[in-house]
Amino acid sequence: MRVAIVGSGYVGLVAAACFADLGHEVVCVDNDSAKIAALVAGEVPIHEEFLPELLTRHRGKRLKFTGSLPEAVRNCEIVFIAVGTPPTPQGDADLSYVEAVAREIGLQLNEYAVIVEKSTVPVFTCQRVRRVVTLNASAPIEFDVASNPEFLREGTAVTDFLYPDRIVIGADAERAAQILKRLYEPMTSGEYYRQPNAIAAPNASVRIPPPLVITSTQSAELIKHASNAFLAMKISFINAVANICEAVGADVEQVCQGVGLDSRIGQRFLRPGIGWGGSCFPKDVMAFRAVAQECGYDFGLLEEVMRINDEQRNRFVRKIRNTLWTLKSKRLAVLGLAFKGGTDDIRESPALALIEELLREGCTIAAYDPAAMDRVRAERPELGITFCANPYEAADAADALIILTDWDEFASLDLARLHTALKYPIVVDGRNLYPPEMMAEKGFMYASVGRPTAAPSHKPVLSATTVNGSTR
């Protein structure tokens, strides 16, 4: 099928590469000419597993890039809108980019097409897109507007796309539903997964073929907002439980195991930490709250979900302060800058928010992140972070090591080397990557989230009040 995708951010670019891998002819359009030039030249603008190989496989063949929307839209039977929907200062979604694209599509449409929202948008956006396209069409043209929300996570975007828990198609017209069903047929028939060069399944528990859920456009739009809000709520819930664990000396990891084994609850998205961030949860929870308000429903639960999330970061700063006593002039080694492991995305990164707070308290920061350092260097030069080549360089002569994102690499550090590098063997882990007893055995004082702080029994690190003449 011939598919145009407007917007080449995370969702647009990954969808374009994956649709090409499913066998479709895809043209990806963006008004950022530098980005299009880079994509044409073979560059990969985001850090995402399997994306480079899919782009290499299809670029210039089944996958084309252009800055011209008219060129992309004409003669395509499906046009996806995958542009940004950033938050306004009031918290609702800014839909001006979606509107602008809808207007242009209206001007260009020359034969029937299904216009599909893939960006996360509030309920009734399909209706609004329909109206804008109709108002701008140069001649009366038949078209449909559908919603096909995307549930991919950054870092695992390609496998999330190709091995989804479900495919949701929100269409009010049968013709549009049939076209979108055909688009996903290589997946729903299982044919794609039988191809020798298909991207391999991430684990044995993925459902093949993925189930297809056909709904109205309003329901599909709500499915996306409700899913993200529910996941954020799940994380805030377990973070709140972690705080109770800390108060009573329980271990949140044990609690998670016991709670998560209930199949009605499940283990996933029950990892406590420093709170959720990223380009989706913060904006979508706020936007869903605004949508509810507009519909006359006060969804106060979501307010609390956000409050717990903010408080989680503040608590973590307090934890670092409690562990180190004072923060002023402390040199801290920080592992992780992105909003989570496996990505270079620093939007709404809890790690960066924490670093800002630590800098305000007078700390100096030596940081390492496997993928996000270039971005922080370019976008946040004012922070004055020292960037290091590896975790041990960051730890060199530091007063403590702070773990802020859950990269696999950070969960398998050479602890003996780390111990030697640090000035004091103190680790404050915001992602619970190590068993506390094991860290104590290796000679560390180890504070984490929702678990008792562990310290080596032979050498209580914080008993010394003066080291080298200075009060700690």
Binding mask 95-134 for ligand UDX (x = CB under 6 A): ----------------------------------------
- Shortest reach from residue 401's CB to ligand UDX, in Å: 19
Nearer residue to ligand UDX within complex by CB, 69 or 404: 404
Nearer residue to ligand UDX within complex by CB, 124 or 269: 269
- Shortest reach from residue 448's CB to ligand UDX, in Å: 13
- Shortest reach from residue 137's CB to ligand UDX, in Å: 31
- Shortest reach from residue 235's CB to ligand UDX, in Å: 4
- Shortest reach from residue 410's CB to ligand UDX, in Å: 13
- Shortest reach from residue 201's CB to ligand UDX, in Å: 18
Question: From the list 19, 65, 316, 339, which residue makes contact with ligand UDX (rule: CB under 6 A)?
Answer: 339
Question: From the list 8, 119, 147, 228, which residue makes contact with ligand UDX (rule: CB under 6 A)?
Answer: 228
152 scored as a contact of ligand UDX (CB under 6 A): yes
Identify which range of 39-47, 149-157, 241-249, 391-399 contacts ligand UDX by CB under 6 A: 149-157
Tell me the three-class secondary structure of the chain, residue by residue. CEEEEECCCHHHHHHHHHHHHCCCEEEEECCCHHHHHHHHCCCCCCCCCCHHHHHHHHECCCEEEECCHHHHHCCCCEEEECCCCCECCCCCECCHHHHHHHHHHHHHCCCCEEEEECCCCCCCHHHHHHHHHHHHCCCCCCEEEEECCCCCCCCCHHHHHHCCCCEEEEECCHHHHHHHHHHCHHHHCCHHHHCCCCCCCCCCCCCCCCCEEEECHHHHHHHHHHHHHHHHHHHHHHHHHHHHHHHHCCCHHHHHHHHHCCCCCCCCCCCCCCCCCCCCHHHHHHHHHHHHHHCCCCCHHHHHHHHHHHHHHHHHHHHHHHHHCCCCCCEEEEECCCCCCCCCCCCCCHHHHHHHHHHHCCCEEEEECCCCHHHHHHHCHHHCCEECCCHHHHHCCCCEEEECCCCHHHHHCCHHHHHHHCCCCEEEECCCCCCHHHHHHCCCEEECCCCCCECCCCCCHHHCCEECCEEC
Nearer residue to ligand UDX within complex by CB, 24 or 234: 234
423 scored as a contact of ligand UDX (CB under 6 A): no
316 scored as a contact of ligand UDX (CB under 6 A): no
80 scored as a contact of ligand UDX (CB under 6 A): no
Q: Measured between alpha carbons, how far is 248 from 271 in angstroms, rounded to an integer?
A: 19
- Shortest reach from residue 1's CB to ligand UDX, in Å: 23
Nearer residue to ligand UDX within complex by CB, 163 or 339: 339
Active site residues: 280
Nearer residue to ligand UDX within complex by CB, 4 or 256: 256
237 scored as a contact of ligand UDX (CB under 6 A): no
Question: From the list 235, 333, 388, 402, which residue makes contact with ligand UDX (rule: CB under 6 A)?
Answer: 235
Question: From the list 225, 283, 313, 340, which residue makes contact with ligand UDX (rule: CB under 6 A)?
Answer: 340
Question: From the list 36, 231, 327, 427, which residue makes contact with ligand UDX (rule: CB under 6 A)?
Answer: 231
Give the list of residues 6+ apart from residue 246 with CB closer than 8 angstroms, or none.
449, 450, 451, 452
Q: Measured between alpha carbons, how far is 77 from 26 in angstroms, rounded to an integer?
A: 11
Q: Which of 231, 246, 367, 247 is nearest to 309 (CA)?
A: 231
154 scored as a contact of ligand UDX (CB under 6 A): yes
Interface with ligand UDX (CB under 6 A), residue total: 19
Binding mask 256-295 for ligand UDX (x = CB under 6 A): -------------xxx-x--xxx-xx--------------
- Shortest reach from residue 273's CB to ligand UDX, in Å: 4
Which residues of the shown chain bind ligand UDX in the complex (CB under 6 A)? 150-154, 228, 231, 235, 269-271, 273, 276-278, 280-281, 339-340
